[in-house]
């Protein structure tokens, strides 16, 4: 069975009006049901690349979503396939109630009232926010707002979900809640892109990693990338804690081949060995 390309980027470049080159010759393929982590230091172009994926920004080059080249003619259809969850949930929540926020996109897709209600219910259930329909979005905690902002995207039922710093400014429990949501989306067959500084939190769901510094510096399987300590140092990125653990265990002549990529999973694995 051939795996379909969800996103195909060829020679994409983007320069801001002030002359700042944000992206240069980006070449990247992301496959259906794959979870990709996009990492890079501040100013590396992560958000700019994300905004090119659904035509909010338009660079030079070629960008296809499920083999459809992004253009003015098909932009509306493209945006049904790809949804972006912004870092700050207040950028997505602007209606009086949670229901209104989550229903906004389906209503603008001209769906009937019954279908809109079903989509709102399913989207809130997917983020574990049942019975929040009548709550005021601006009264919610930051973690709750984050979940509702994800629900506003899921109500469109996109094939691709893009997260911009999904764990930023969250406490430990809220981070775990968001990772659980991402895991479930992956199980449901969604293609996922996570732009993040918090690589340790998302490693357990990530299939591949792309390191961005205006261009793609490195791209490969998760374990292969995170164990390249020099690569992280050269790009001024924090080496993931799990990679430091792998290095320590390797120095102790332990085989790390089958050790999970999540610190929590590692601890659980060692507990079961006792």
| Interval 88-138: pLDDT, tens | 999 999 999 999 999 999 999 999 999 999 999 999 999 999 999 999 998
What CATH number is given to the structural domain containing 28? 3.40.50.300
Task: Give me the numbers of helices (H) and strands (E) for the chain, helices first please.
Answer: 11, 10
Give residue for tokens 């980006």: 26
Q: Is 165 within 8 Å of 197 (Cβ atoms)?
A: yes
Establish if 262 belongs to a structural domain: no
Q: Is residue 194 left, alpha or beta, with left meaning phi > 0 and alpha meaning psi from -120 to 50? A: beta
For residues 19-41, give the mean pLDDT.
96
Establish if 260 belongs to a structural domain: no
Whether residue 102 is found in the same domain as residue 229 = no
With cut-offs at 50, 70 and 90, classify the pLDDT of residue 247: confident
Whether residue 7 is found in the same domain as residue 59 = yes
For residues 139-163, give the mean pLDDT.
96
Query: What token pair was written down for 29?
Result: 């393929």
pLDDT above 60 for 274: no
Whether residue 150 is found in the same domain as residue 23 = no
Q: Is the dihedral of CA 98, 101, 105, 107 positive or negative?
A: positive
Whether residue 49 is found in the same domain as residue 167 = yes
Give kind and range of the element (H or E) at residue 191.
strand 191-195
Cα angle at 120 between 66 and 191, to 5 degrees? Answer: 25
Query: What token pair was written down for 229?
Result: 């300590």
Q: Give first-to-last CA distance, the chain, whole Å.
A: 41
DSSP sequence for 64-96: EETTEE--TTTHHHHHHHEEEE-SSGGGT--SS
For residues 186-193, give the mean pLDDT.
96
Give the range of the structural domain holding residue 233, as residue numbers without chain letter. Answer: 1-73+159-238
């Amino acid at each position: 069975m051939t795996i379909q390309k969800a996103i195909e980027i060829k020679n994409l470049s983007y320069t801001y009006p002030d002359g700042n080159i944000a992206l240069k010759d980006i070449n990247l393929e992301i496959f259906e049901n794959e979870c990709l982590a996009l990492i890079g230091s501040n100013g590396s172009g992560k958000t700019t690349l994300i905004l090119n994926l659904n035509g909010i920004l338009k660079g030079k080059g070629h960008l296809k979503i499920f083999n459809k080249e992004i253009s003015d003619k098909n932009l509306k259809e493209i945006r049904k396939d790809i949804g972006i969850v912004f870092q700050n949930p207040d950028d997505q929540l602007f209606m009086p109630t949670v229901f209104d926020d989550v229903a906004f996109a389906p209503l603008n897709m001209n769906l009937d009232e019954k279908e809109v209600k079903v989509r709102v219910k399913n989207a809130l259930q997917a983020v574990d926010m049942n019975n929040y329909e009548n709550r005021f979005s601006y009264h919610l905690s930051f973690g709750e707002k984050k979940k509702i902002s994800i629900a506003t995207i899921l109500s469109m039922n996109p094939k691709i979900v893009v997260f911009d710093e999904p764990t930023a400014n969250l406490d430990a429990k809220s981070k775990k809640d968001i990772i659980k949501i991402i895991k479930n989306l992956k199980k449901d067959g969604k293609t996922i892109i996570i732009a993040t500084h918090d690589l340790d939190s998302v490693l357990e769901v990530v299939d591949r990693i792309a390191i961005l510094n205006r261009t793609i510096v490195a791209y490969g399987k998760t374990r292969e990338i995170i164990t390249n300590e020099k690569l992280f140092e050269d790009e001024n990125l924090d080496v993931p804690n799990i990679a430091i653990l792998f290095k320590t265990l390797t120095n102790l002549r332990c085989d790390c081949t089958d050790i999970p990529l999540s610190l929590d999973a590692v601890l659980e694995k060692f507990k079961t060995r006792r």
